[in-house]
Amino acid sequence: MEIPEERQYLDEGEIVRVNLFRKIKPPSLTIIGSHCPAMDLLIDVAGIEDPKIINVGSLGGWLALKRGEADVAGTHLLDEETMTYNLHMPKKLGIEDQVEIYGGYMREIGFITAPGNPKNINGFEDLLRSDVIFVNRAKGSGIRVFIDLQLKKLGVKNPENTIKGYTYQVKTHTAVAAAVAQGRADVGVAVGYVAKIYGLNFIPLMNERFDLAVRKDRAFKRGVQDLLKALRSEEFAERLKALPHYRVHEKTGQKIYP
């Protein structure tokens, strides 16, 4: 695809000329959405060797499903009104008849701090302190939705002006842990698993449900079927136990929408 040098960007839906490389084999499965270490495990159990994985956050995954760019989206978007996960998104995006949602797994998220928690960070109110530097998640990610909801409950109206580092955004859980480990931030919110990997302190906040949203017209694709079969397997359940702060639940692998 050629873009004229005077163009800064292309508009969504704009028609362009594309030259295809015929020898390139398309991926067997395209997963776009939230980053999660357990998804790597699931793909390994499924035996999928050439998936295309793009981490753009939960909302980005849903939009990719709507546009037909993704087969599967990993998602953990919290509905502020019902305090439930993911089931509100098909109606919100007007794609009720285009997607299915399968129960994934539970994971514990919390504050990631330096070993020993030297800044004594215990709640979101501590992010307002002048001596605390925060590392945020990208807008549209499920973690970011959770963070902003907690700040809203505290009555914080302009966090970009009152929280140091609020505009410092990263795309993955490991990037949050790396920022804290390297001293670029004092605290961030991520899954507890990455705290263990980096030797950091973890302060639990809540357990959240991570699900898989699938386009109906891709549901019978080989890669999608292999992924869902792996999700329901005993092997995945057993191997997931080895990841701290993760577990399956009674609806893991079951279709929960529609």
Residues of the chain with CATH 3.40.190.10: 30-106+209-257, 109-207
- Please tell me the predicted confidence (pLDDT) of residue 8: 64
pLDDT tens sequence across 39-96 = 999 999 999 989 999 999 999 999 999 999 999 999 999 998 999 999 999 999 999 9
The Cα–Cα gap between 33 and 36 comes to 9
pLDDT-based confidence at 3, cuts 50/70/90?
confident
**Residue 22: is its pLDDT beyond 80?**
no
- What CATH class does 109-207 carry? alpha beta
The Cα–Cα gap between 69 and 18 comes to 16
- Please tell me the predicted confidence (pLDDT) of residue 255: 98
The Cα–Cα gap between 28 and 224 comes to 9
**pTM (predicted TM-score):** 0.87
The Cα–Cα gap between 194 and 88 comes to 29
Residues linked to residue 207 through DSSP beta bridges, in sequence order: 108
pLDDT tens sequence across 92-140 = 999 999 999 999 999 999 999 999 999 999 999 999 999 999 999 999 9
Q: Could you tell me whether strands 99-113 and 255-257 are parallel, antiparallel, or unpaired per DSSP bridges?
A: antiparallel
**Residue 9: is its pLDDT beyond 80?**
no
Higher pLDDT, 140 or 3: 140
115: cis peptide before it, omega within 30°? no
Q: Which of 36, 59, 38, 31 is nearest to 141 (CA)?
A: 59
Query: What tokens does 153 get?
Result: 């409950």
Q: Could you tell me whether strands 246-247 and 52-55 are parallel, antiparallel, or unpaired per DSSP bridges?
A: unpaired
C-alpha torsion sign, points 186, 191, 197, 203: positive
Higher pLDDT, 176 or 7: 176
Q: Please give the CATH number for the structural domain made up of 30-106+209-257.
A: 3.40.190.10
pLDDT tens sequence across 202-246 = 999 999 999 999 999 999 999 999 999 999 999 999 999 999 999
**Residue 20: is its pLDDT beyond 80?**
no
| Residue that the structure tokens 């999608």 belong to | 224
- Please tell me the predicted confidence (pLDDT) of residue 73: 98
Please state, rounded to an integer, the average pLDDT across all residues of the chain: 94
Q: Which of 92, 101, 50, 129 is nearest to 216 (CA)?
A: 101
